Amino acid sequence: MTTNNPNFSENMLSVEEARNNILEMMSVLNSEHLPISKSLGHVLSEDISSIINVPPWNNSAMDGFAVIASDTNGASDVNPVNLNVIDSVYAGDMPNSKVSPNTAIRIMTGAPIPEGANAVVPFEQTNETQQKNTHQQLNTISILKPVKENDYIRFCGEDIKSGDNIFTKGTILRPSEIGVLATLGFKDIPVIRKPKIAIISTGNELTDIGEPIELGKIYDANTYSIATSVEKYGGIPIIIGIARDNEESLNALLDKALEYDILVTSAGVSKGDYDIVKNILSQRGNIEFWSVNMKPAKPIAFGWINKSKTTKLPLLGLPGNPVSAMVAFEQFVRPSILKLKGYTKLNKPSIQAILKNTIKNEDGRRMYIRVLVKKEGVDYYAEATGNQGSHVLTSMAKANGLAICPENILEIKSGQTIEVQMIDWHVDDL
Ligand code: AMP
Ligand code: MG
């Protein structure tokens, strides 16, 4: 490093070292009770067991006729077995009658199996369709194909038995888990709460969207890419605002961030202007300026602000260049959010893809290349999305992944395989 600042580490940290240092400061948040409709992506904070059977009683898997299976023996198109239809039962009702030999009860999918019946003959195996066509309500039905005992019956407790442990603490709630919880009648459940992430952009040049732009100024992109990334990974973004490059302004905004779980700032951590951040943070907490062996996003700041004598607000200072901020977010903020939410798998999913263009890594840092991954046949192909300057955010917008050229590998040739961290999976070509 060519710097005399003692707060700059002499050696570069690896991405893993930086991430581990950050994650060490992050601990799982407390839990709360939430309506299940608000629980998507949350982690269960207690085991859940069932106090009911699912299904709650034996019921029909088809629209058809509840019968005694042996009554249908030998039934065929040419030799149908005729049964007396004595009643009908719909989903939501209870049967009023009992099936006895040579009788049948018309039954709808999900309706309880009447006493005496031990199988269901689906409409398709009867002359029901012909009856429907003629709008006749016949009281006999012709069975055209035999059924065996238990055919088309869904049994009590087949899915879940009362007393079963359904989900353990730590389960991530997806729509399927939420559906199961609803099946069991849960209205509210105990989950780890979502972290609230305070976001501050820094820089005299920044203008908030919606404001008129003056000469020399640019719009603040990072606040919005960071806030929506927070949302994407299941945190709650809290936009605090733009801090100007002076101590009063930054101090005032820091005060507003104190009540949240992590503070993410952007810019002000590169050599040009970190002094302000450093001065304030050394009075109000602690900060280290790291040089991480990655490209983009080499300068990262990490530390904390004292909230009280015993509690600290972790602070992650991302670089200002918009692509650097987003790449650093993926590597450091995303796993932090996930850890706070109680997730244990913190790595970004990655795939192996065949490179469509040669990548040169001149200074041998770990390089994250914006690529568009497409599936062609059985293989994934990755193509760089153009200008890889850390200020060129449109090449991030065109990408669905970050290809990783490892440290000290100076070139990966077109046609060779490369690891790609997937940022998005829902792209038409995949
Ligand atoms: P800095 O880290 O303050 O030296 O900023 C590096 C580069 O990122 C400069 O060109 C800044 O203008 C730009 N930049 C910083 N913050 C933002 C932001 N919030 N939105 C867009 N560009 C930014
Ligand atoms: Mg700046």
Mark which of 341, 375, 392 sits at the end of a domain.
Answer: 341
Same domain, 238 and 292: yes
**Dist. CA 237 → ligand 2 center (Å):** 22
Is 99:114 a contact under the CB 8 Å cutoff?
A: yes
- Considering the domain architecture, whether residues 167 and 40 belong to the same structural domain is answered as yes
| Centroid of ligand 1 to alpha carbon of 322 (angstroms) | 7
Give the structural domain span for 386: 350-422
Q: pLDDT per position in the chain (430 positions), as tens? A: 233 344 444 489 999 999 999 999 999 999 999 999 999 999 999 999 999 999 999 999 999 999 999 999 999 999 999 999 999 999 999 999 999 999 999 999 999 999 999 999 999 999 987 765 444 555 999 999 999 999 999 999 999 999 999 999 999 999 999 999 999 999 999 999 999 999 999 999 999 999 999 999 999 999 999 999 999 999 999 999 999 999 999 999 999 999 999 999 999 888 776 778 888 888 999 999 999 999 999 999 999 999 999 999 999 999 999 999 999 999 999 999 999 999 999 999 999 999 999 999 999 999 999 999 999 999 999 999 999 999 999 999 999 999 999 999 999 999 999 999 999 987 777 8
Closest ligand 1 atom to the C-alpha of 268? 3
211 occurs within a structural domain: yes
> Which ligand number lies closest to the CA of residue 219?
1
Q: Which ligand is nearest to the CA of 317?
A: 1
CA of 14 to the centre of ligand 1 (A): 24
Q: Closest-lying ligand to the alpha carbon of 265?
A: 1
In a shared domain, residues 320 and 293? yes
| H-helix segments, 285-346 | 322-328, 334-340
Q: Residue 182 falls within a domain, yes or no?
A: yes
Distance 269 CA to ligand 2 centre (A): 8
The number of the ligand 1 atom at minimal distance from the alpha carbon of 319 is 2
The minimum-distance atom of ligand 1 relative to the CA of 299 is 2
CA distance 24 to 214: 42
Nearest-atom number in ligand 1 for the CA of 222 is 19
Residues 141 and 95 in one domain: yes
Q: Do 212 and 255 fall within a single domain?
A: yes
**Is 398 part of any domain?**
yes
CA distance 410 to 356: 17
Question: Is residue 204 domain-shared with residue 337, that is, in the same domain?
Answer: yes
Predicted pLDDT of residue 56:
97
- Of 75, 183, 56, nearest in space to 119 by CA: 75
- Does residue 212 share a domain with residue 332? yes
Specify whether the CB–CB gap between 324 and 365 falls below 8 A.
no
From 200, 202, 206, mutation site for ligand 1 pocket: most ligand atoms within 8 A of C-beta: 206
pLDDT given at position 278: 84
Q: Confirm whether 429 is domain-assigned.
A: no
The token duo for 367 is: 């390089």
- Which numbered ligand comes closest to the C-alpha of 270? 1
Q: Answer yes or no: are the C-beta atoms of 141 and 75 closer than 8 Å.
A: no
Q: What separation in Å is there between the alpha carbon of 54 and the centre of ligand 2? A: 59
Q: Any residues with Cβ below 6 Å from ligand 1, and which? A: 201, 203, 205-206, 218, 220-223, 266-268, 270, 272-273, 319-322
CA 254 to chain centre: 30
**273 C-alpha to center of ligand 2: Å?**
6
Ligand 1 atom nearest to CA at 272: 4
How far is C-alpha 409 from the chain's CA centre? 33
Q: Where are the beta strands (DSSP E) in 30-185?
A: 31-35, 48-49, 59-60, 64-67, 81-89, 103-107, 119-122, 140-143, 153-154, 165-167
In this structure, are 139 and 241 located in the same domain?
no
CA angle 339, 341, 344 (to 5 degrees): 45
Does 2 fall in a domain? no
* Best mutation site among 226, 266, 270, 394 for ligand 1 pocket (most ligand atoms within 8 Å of CB): 266
* Same structural domain, 106 and 48: no
- State whether 309 and 206 are in the same domain: yes
Position 427 in a domain: no
Domains of the chain: total: 4
Asked whether residue 10 is assigned to any structural domain, the reply reads no
Q: What pLDDT shows up at residue 6? A: 41
Report how far ligand 1's centroid is from the alpha carbon of 320 (Å). 4
CATH number at 125 reads 2.170.190.11
If asked whether residues 170 and 114 sit together in one domain, one would say no
Is residue 375 included in any domain, yes or no? yes
Closest residue by CA, ligand 1 atom 17: 320
- Domain-ending residue, one of 192, 211, 242: 192
pLDDT of residue 3: 34
Residue 45 and residue 177 share a domain: yes
Q: How many CB atoms lie within 10 A of CB 245?
A: 18
| Domain of residue 267, CATH code | 3.40.980.10
Model confidence pTM above 0.75: yes
The closest of 66, 82, 72 to 118, measured between CA atoms, is: 66
Q: Looking at residue 368, which CATH number applies to its domain?
A: 2.40.340.10
Residue 2 is predicted with a pLDDT of 31
319 Cα to the center of ligand 2, angstroms = 9
Atom number in ligand 1 closest to CA 324: 8
